[in-house]
Amino acid sequence: MEFSARQIAELLGGTIEGNKEVTVSSLSKIEEGVPGALTFLANPAYTNHIYTTGASLAIVRNNFTPEKPLPEGLTLIRVEDPYNAFATILELHANMTAKKSGISSQSFVSPSATLGNNLYIGAFAYIGENVEIGDGVQIYPQVYLGDNVKVGNGTTLYPGVRIYRDCVVGQNCTIHGGAVIGSDGFGFAPQDDKNYRKVPQVGNVILEDNVEIGANTTIDRATIGSTIIHRGVKLDNLIQVAHNVEIGENTVIAAQSGLSGSMKVGKNVMVGGQVGFVGHIYVADNVKVGARSGVENSLTQEGGIFFGAPAIDAMRARKNYVHWRNLDDIVRKLNTLEKQVKKLIPDE
């Protein structure tokens, strides 16, 4: 499907520099642009590619000033934020892709389940007893929904998602392949004979609206009560969320991070990859935690930036890192000073 520069500029509220009637029918990265493609320039590190791109149309920042001639025939659309503008285009593109519909004869749907309108349920999906599924839900092949699960309107469950009994998924959520929602929390009581007695996990998991869960991420059910992922949270692939964790609105967590049991994360928190949190601590609103950090204590400074293992204030962590890099030289100097001191002090 083709769109003109004029149509795209109207959608984005941008201004056109070049041919208003040029049309595009595909999307591309700026370094791989071809005629008829729309691209964008948001990261300054890619600026050089705009002088060689073969794309017909590029979204750029309002204050972008070319330092060299642009390719002949390249039209620009100037906007305040190119990255968000391109995200709008991608969203439009995704919405235009026809959604699947219908219920496969190779799926199993319990007679007690309640189904909304305009559904898709793929082959080999299993819908348990008393499950409630809202309108427009997309359930891809091999999805498992345990008894009493609730799935809100417009949610998409990709192949291989497992949602255990009694869990609740809100509206317009996206759960990617292999994710497990509601598996047992890691609860075992030590016994006198050195064995461990399993503590039954009788709670559930609640995902509020507009939550996205990455592939192969696991979210454990609560021992009692609920593990809660509040609205707007985005979890990357391969994340472990333990029992009774609560994650605040619009928090984002990158891949391979782990959240131990009963900890609480505030709103609008940003967590890098491979971060580990111990249990029963609190992270304040608007905090940022650098990749590969180990968080051993509560981070109570709202808006703070933390890094390291154990995680400390990022500015202090950077200073410590500089000293660590020079540790070999420092030790060498200390050894030299020690020898000099010994020469000045006569032997007793």
CATH number at residue 27: 3.40.1390.10
Supply the pLDDT for residue 21: 95
Shared domain for 45 and 141, answered yes or no, is no
User: Is residue 48 in a domain?
Assistant: yes
Structure confidence by residue, pLDDT tens digits, 255-270: 999 999 999 999 999 9
Do 91 and 136 lie in one domain? The reply is no
- pLDDT one-digit tens code per residue, 101-144: 999 999 999 999 999 999 999 999 999 999 999 999 999 999 99
| Structure confidence at residue 344 (pLDDT) | 85
pLDDT of residue 324: 81
Domain containing 76: what range?
A: 3-96
Q: Is residue 160 domain-shared with residue 251, that is, in the same domain?
A: yes
- Mind giving me the DSSP string for 284-337? -TT-EE-TT-EE-S-B-STT-EEETTTTEEHHHHHHHHHHHHTHHHHHHHHHHH
In what order do the strands lie in the sheet containing 102-103?
A: 102-103, 120-121, 138-139, 156-157, 174-175, 212-213, 234-235, 252-253, 270-271, 288-289, 305-307, 312-313
The pTM score is: 0.88
Same structural domain for residues 106 and 90? no
Residues 41 and 149 in one domain: no
Total count of domains within the chain? 2
Max Cα distance, the chain (Å)? 95
**Per-residue pLDDT tens for 4-33?**
999 999 999 999 999 999 999 999 999 999
Question: Are 77 and 117 members of one domain?
Answer: no
pLDDT band, residue 327 (cuts 50/70/90): confident
For 55-65, the pLDDT digits (tens) are: 999 999 999 99
Determine the 3-state secondary structure of 59 from DSSP. Answer: strand
Based on the fold, state whether residues 79 and 162 are members of the same structural domain: no
Residues 145 and 54 in one domain: no
Asked if 92 and 127 sit in the same domain, the reply is no
Q: Is residue 347 in some structural domain?
A: no
Pair (122, 66) in one structural domain:
no
Give yes or no for residue 93 having a pLDDT over 90. Answer: no
What's the rounded mean pLDDT across residues 274-281?
98
Active site annotation includes 280: no
Give me the torsion for CA of 303, 304, 308, 314, rounded to 10°: 120
333: in domain? no
Catalytic hit among 49, 176, 230, 243: 243
Q: Can you give the pLDDT at residue 4? A: 96
Structural domain includes residue 74: yes
User: Position 84: which residue type?
Assistant: N
Shared domain check, 283 and 215: yes
Please write the tens of the pLDDT for every residue from 132-146: 999 999 999 999 999
Confidence of residue 345 (pLDDT cuts 50, 70, 90): confident
81 and 106 assigned to the same domain:
no
Kindly tell me the number of DSSP H helices and DSSP E strands found in the chain.
Answer: 4, 40
